[in-house]
Amino acid sequence: EAAAGAEGGAKPSAEEEARVSQLHEAAEGRLQRGTINGPITAASLVDASDLMNQADAITSTEHAYADCFLIFRALCKLSMKEVPTASANNTADMRNKVFSLELLHSIIVNAGPVLRSHEKFVNQAIKKYLCISLLSNGVSPVHRVFKLSLDIFFALITNFKDYLKKEIEVFFTKILLRILSSANSTMQQKLLVLQVLLKVCNVPQMLVDIFVNYDCDINGSNIFEQTVNELAGMSKCTPQADTWTASGMSAEEGEIRLLALECLVMIMKSLVDWSQELREGDAPAGAALAGGSGNGHVNGEGEGDSEGRPSDTDDVDDVVSKFVQQKHYKQQVEQGKEIFNLKPNKGIAFLVGVGHLEKTPKEVARFLLSEEGLDRAKIGEYLGEFDAFNKSVLYAYVDSFNFADQDIDQALREFLGGFRLPGESQKIDRMMEKFAERYFTDNTGKLFENADAVYVFAFHMIMLATDLHNENIKKKISRAEWIKNNTGLNDGHDFPEKFLLQIYERFLKNHLRTRDMDETPSAAYANSELLNPKQRQILFHKEGRLMVKNAQELLRAQLQNKSTFFKSTHIEHVRPMFELCSWPVLASFSQLLEVSDDAVAINLCLRGFKSAIRVSSIFYMETERDAFVSSLSKFTMLSNTREMKQKNIGCIKALIEIAHDDGNYLQDSWSQVLTCISQLEKMHLIGSGSRAMETMSPQAAPPRRTRSEHAPRSDSAPVVSKSFENVNATNVAGQIKVEEIDKIFADTLHLNSNAIVEFVRCLCAVSSVEVQGDKPRIFSLQKLVEVAAFNMERIRFVWSRIWGIVADHFRAVGVHQNWNVAMYAVDSLRQLATKFLEKKELANYHFQKDFLKPFEHIIMHHKSKKIRELVVRCLQQMILKRAEYIKSGWKSIFVVFTFAAGDADGSIVSLAFDVVERIMDQYFHLIADQFFVECVNCLVAYASSNHLKEISINAIRSLGFCAKQLVEGHVIDVEPDDDGYLFVDCEAHMRVWFPILTGLSRTVSHPHVDVRTEALNQLFDTLNSYGHTFSDALWDIVFRGVLTPIFHDVRYSGETNHLMKEDDEWLTTTCLPALTQLVDLFAHFFERINFLSDEFLVLLASCILQDNESLARIGATCWHKFVVESGSKWSPEQWTAICVSAHFLIRNNTVAELLEMAKQHAAAKRIATPQKPQVLNRAIPPPSPSPAPAPAPAPASAS
């Protein structure tokens, strides 16, 4: 062994020997330089000594490695020694074999950092010897040998995966997965393989690395995907068996299925753990993927390979993106191959269409020849098509072979190994014709005289193989017949007899097979149930030998090829992994929950559901998450009338646990969870011994948590359903506590900002469904109130999003046709508002206004008097309790009270006005600054109310109080301008004055005389008291916008063809006092507002010229009063205007009939008499010649 070790290259390499020599030379040079430069110092001696020690260390290390390598190789060879199976446990050879495997396992498991990173040990020892040993022992029928091989393989994955990328792939695909899928492998072998897979699935890093390095590798196998599909298939129950202990299923089969299910659950758990570990910051922040320890040196690919793999220096997002692109590319290729295996032409067209294949004969031929996973029969079908392009592909396919110096039977096997011959003779003829041409071209001048001879002899070989290996042919062709049949075929000459006999013997020994037939030799028996264990063992032995052979060929082919094993450190790789495995896993879990009652299996399924929902939620994979949540919700059986089993109770508990643990990620799936919670509460109430439900009937009062009697079931409902419902409800109530349900809503306080918004939105949706129908329920509405109260302390930004959803729901429920539901909603809204108003609001914010807006909607749209009255009382209570904290909320409060002023029910109007009066008396200082106008508009609405004159009169007096507060500076800051006026025509002053003045002006037209009188007196008292603070421009606007509109109805009564009656109430009771007070106002402020005299004269003239005699007399009286009281103050120009006005009024007030008689009398006397206009619709005199200041235009708000 020592001599063999020396020959095997265990001695130090040339590079290492050169390194030792360099160190020795450096040490000698250091001493020489010390001597030349002066005496040798201690430092120079130390430096030289260090260099010598390094050289000695390298030499000793290499000797140690040589010993290690020799021992390791000897153990590998000993473990590969063939031992007869019959006497396996009783021979020294078997004991030596097992002991060598145990030692190898100990070496691999306990390998330190030196061996793990030693290039020569990996390449010379592990790859060259240990991997071959594992392949041969990995299909051993001996239990201990097989188990030790699997344990060594797992140890290699754990400690050496960075350097064994191709070897791991071969062992997975050619050994482990083949054993699981084989119908001939034993149950013990399957069980041991599953145990190893369970270990792999339990290591998140290993699982993700397998996906990244193989499933995302364009040229790699889909190890992760194949493993999941195989496990999902093995874990499912048979359709005939409803439990895992059903007859027909052995204990071993049950154990295998349980272990396969556990592997699936462990995969889900590993994905969760991987995501959580990286989210907690365990992974490096600067890299998404990093090469394995030292693998850049061992594999020689530090920069990325020819397959477009990302390098370690790439940006995180770029690295992940590249792997995702590679996986996407690979998936498209797989899809194209699936289509090809159904319709070859469509498959090629698909791959060309997506850009993964160039439509040239050479490229298509290369694809057919090299791509794994293509159906060999479909390849033959495609190559045999008569289309011109298919013929070109066939020619390119054949020309890609090199048959030089090959025997013709070997060349034919190689040619037919890639496809199966089609059934049509013309297609076979075309293929063999091209084969003969290629073979003769590569072997011209040798055995065959021409291509025709190759063509005919190739057909003869195909017929020979068929004859020798077809079971239906009883009489086989003999050697003499074979020689006779080939006489004279070589252009008239005979083939050498020895050549023909060699061909015969080789075909007798080996049939013509395609590559896929070689890989699955027992496919014909895979589904046969007639084989006994002995026959299956024999078949698996043959199958195992072929698996080892194929695997060894792959390893030898890949021995010199170096590849990089990437170590994943990025969370985003979990997303494509879950996309691949979610649907097979969901199908497996759902099928088991449906048919199995085994407690262990059910618990595993529920664990898998929880992990799968966690992963899909973390990555916001809505489709997958909703599918898992929907499936789990269905198995709760809460919406069915069938009898519940313990597994259904387990599903309910799992759903509650998911709500507790994964609330931050459920998003839309909260709807399904909360729907189940609602049904659970309903069932829990029944099971707790009470038929009471949280329903609202029109007759029942709606206290906070009261529930009215459950509606009786119809007579047509089956008795069995009643019984099941009661049993289920009792079972649920006994195993699930109310506290578990309530905790879900209490824990919303810990949800993140987005999650709480989604939770509230889904809860509102469930509540909307509950309140529909004849027997609405309010469970979710109650919980919505609780959740809103719990989360009211969140930051304003989040709370505004929450309340936006809740407010919309309260608007809808607040106008519910069942007034009990609406009343509960209003009362709940009051409680929330009272709690919300405890928080102070900063200036210029409107959170309170938005909070109280639902009250506005409810009082405006609900038809029930009780609900509208309740809204008013709720606001009354809030004002009494939280008035000092109300800011922007006053706006919504006044909107509600303003609308209540026009309510058809007088009691609501009276109640609301009492609250408004309390506000004026006690809290005016709180509203004066920002909500004065809203308050004034509210008072104007009550002043215009037609229900009780006392309310209107009090509202008018409150308007006077508002005017006083305004002048005294309690509303806005008032300071005299340059002319000494406190109020001018600016927007700020107009905004506060005009609501008061115009409101009083409009109230002068109130139907009740007492209200009109009070409004008229209050208006002119206000103007007389505070008019001196108005500027001229503001007086002009007041005259045009406030005073003149009082008389619009009487001024223009003739123009609207509506003659005011002589006994009109407003005319007889209010018109004269109004005009009289207007005259007094002019007399009082004549020096200030004399520029408005012309406008006032026009107003009086319009009254005097009316056909209504009472109105004309009132106008004339006031005109006379105006002249008498103000005449002493007029200027000559104003007297001229008065005279012109008087002359005009006299001329235009002549009776029309008398005028006509006068005209006739004058005509008789031939005396010209000027014609007078009629009284009706007299023209208003033209503007006075006296100068007057131009009035300022009224702003939009004043109009």
For 964-1002, what is each residue's pLDDT tens digit? 999 998 888 888 888 888 899 899 899 999 999 999 999
What's the average model confidence in pLDDT over 615-636? 91
Q: What amino acid occupies position 636?
A: T
| pLDDT at res. 546 | 66
Label residue 396 by pLDDT band (50, 70, 90): very high
424 catalytic? Reply is: yes
> Which residues contact residue 237 at a Cβ distance below 8 angstroms, ignoring those fewer than 6 apart?
243, 244, 257, 591, 592, 595, 596
d(CA 833, CA 825): 12
Flag whether pLDDT at 658 surpasses 80. yes
What's the average model confidence in pLDDT over 783-805? 91
| pLDDT at res. 516 | 53
Percentage, residues of the chain above pLDDT 90: 28
| pLDDT at res. 1081 | 85
| pLDDT at res. 41 | 45
d(CA 689, CA 669): 31
Q: For residue 808, count other CB atoms closer than 10 A to its CB.
A: 15
d(CA 919, CA 982): 27
d(CA 992, CA 965): 11
What's the average model confidence in pLDDT over 563-588? 88
Q: Could you give the C-alpha distances from 541 to 5, 77, 139, 148, 553, in angstroms and in order?
A: 33, 21, 8, 19, 18
| 897 compared with 690, residue with greater pLDDT | 897
Look at the alpha carbons of 342, 345, 349, 352 in this order and tell me if their dihedral is positive or negative.
Answer: positive
d(CA 506, CA 529): 33
| pLDDT at res. 1197 | 35
Q: For residue 1021, count other CB atoms closer than 10 A to its CB.
A: 14
d(CA 570, CA 568): 6
The 3-state DSSP class for residue 356 equals coil
Q: For residue 1041, count other CB atoms closer than 10 A to its CB.
A: 19
Q: What amino acid occupies position 1073?
A: P
Q: Give percent helix, percent strand, percent coil of the chain, each to the nearest 5.
A: 70, 0, 30
Q: Could you give the C-alpha distances from 707 to 743, 773, 870, 1095, in angstroms and in order?
A: 21, 16, 21, 70
Flag whether pLDDT at 783 surpasses 90. yes
Q: Could you give the C-alpha distances from 1174 to 125, 1145, 1168, 1169, in angstroms and in order?
A: 131, 12, 19, 15
Flag whether pLDDT at 20 surpasses 90. no
| pLDDT at res. 1074 | 86
| pLDDT at res. 700 | 43
Flag whether pLDDT at 215 surpasses 90. no
1160 HSE (CA, 13 A, CB side): 5
Judged by phi (left if over 0) then psi (alpha if -120 to 50, else beta), residue 304 lies in left
Flag whether pLDDT at 252 surpasses 70. yes
Label residue 51 by pLDDT band (50, 70, 90): low
What's the average model confidence in pLDDT over 1105-1113? 77
Whether 960 and 1018 have beta carbons less than 8 Å apart is answered as yes
| pLDDT at res. 134 | 85
| pLDDT at res. 1157 | 60
What's the average model confidence in pLDDT over 612-616? 92
Q: Could you give the C-alpha distances from 347 to 344, 378, 379, 943, in angstroms and in order?
A: 5, 11, 11, 84
| 1190 compared with 275, residue with greater pLDDT | 275
> Which residues contact residue 157 at a Cβ distance below 8 angstroms, ignoring those fewer than 6 apart?
164, 168, 200, 206
Q: What amino acid occupies position 224?
A: F
Crossing angle of helices 949-967 and 1009-1026, in 10° steps, is 10
Would you state the structure tokens that stand for residue 882, as one six-digit string? 């939280």
| 757 compared with 491, residue with greater pLDDT | 757
Q: Could you give the C-alpha distances from 814 to 308, 462, 849, 989, in angstroms and in order?
A: 62, 87, 17, 39
Flag whether pLDDT at 187 surpasses 60. yes
Lowest mean pLDDT among 643-652, 1072-1081, 1175-1184: 1175-1184
Q: Could you give the C-alpha distances from 635 to 648, 654, 1069, in angstroms and in order?
A: 6, 11, 81
| pLDDT at res. 270 | 93
| pLDDT at res. 269 | 93
Q: For residue 967, count other CB atoms closer than 10 A to its CB.
A: 17
Provide the β-strand partners of residue 777: 695
Lowest mean pLDDT among 454-458, 595-599, 640-644, 1011-1015: 640-644
Span 1032-1063, pLDDT tens digits: 889 989 988 898 888 877 766 554 444 455 55
Flag whether pLDDT at 692 surpasses 50. no
Label residue 937 by pLDDT band (50, 70, 90): very high
How many residues are present in the chain? 1199
| pLDDT at res. 536 | 59
Provide the β-strand partners of residue 1030: 983
Span 266-287, pLDDT tens digits: 999 999 988 876 554 433 333 3
Flag whether pLDDT at 915 surpasses 50. yes
What's the average model confidence in pLDDT over 466-477? 84
Q: Which of 414-423, 653-662, 697-706 has the highest mean pLDDT?
A: 653-662
What's the average model confidence in pLDDT over 56-84? 78
What's the average model confidence in pLDDT over 1170-1190? 41
Q: How far is CA 498 from the centre of its chain?
A: 75
| pLDDT at res. 319 | 65
| 951 compared with 1182, residue with greater pLDDT | 951
Flag whether pLDDT at 62 surpasses 80. no
**Active-site residue, selected from the candidate residues 119, 424, 481, 838:** 424
Residue (of 141, 143, 133) closest to 104 by Cα position: 133
| 698 compared with 879, residue with greater pLDDT | 879
Lowest mean pLDDT among 463-477, 620-634, 660-674: 463-477
Across the chain, what does the average pLDDT equal?
79
Q: Could you give the C-alpha distances from 941 to 172, 899, 913, 947, 1018, in angstroms and in order?
A: 85, 8, 10, 12, 16
Percentage, residues of the chain above pLDDT 70: 77
Lowest mean pLDDT among 398-402, 735-739, 875-879, 949-953: 735-739
The position carrying tokens 């069915």 is 640
What's the average model confidence in pLDDT over 44-62? 57
The 3-state DSSP class for residue 777 equals strand
Flag whether pLDDT at 122 surpasses 80. yes
Residue (of 1037, 1173, 1046, 1050) closest to 1102 by Cα position: 1050
Label residue 674 by pLDDT band (50, 70, 90): very high
Backbone angles phi, psi at 1036, to 5 degrees: -60, -40
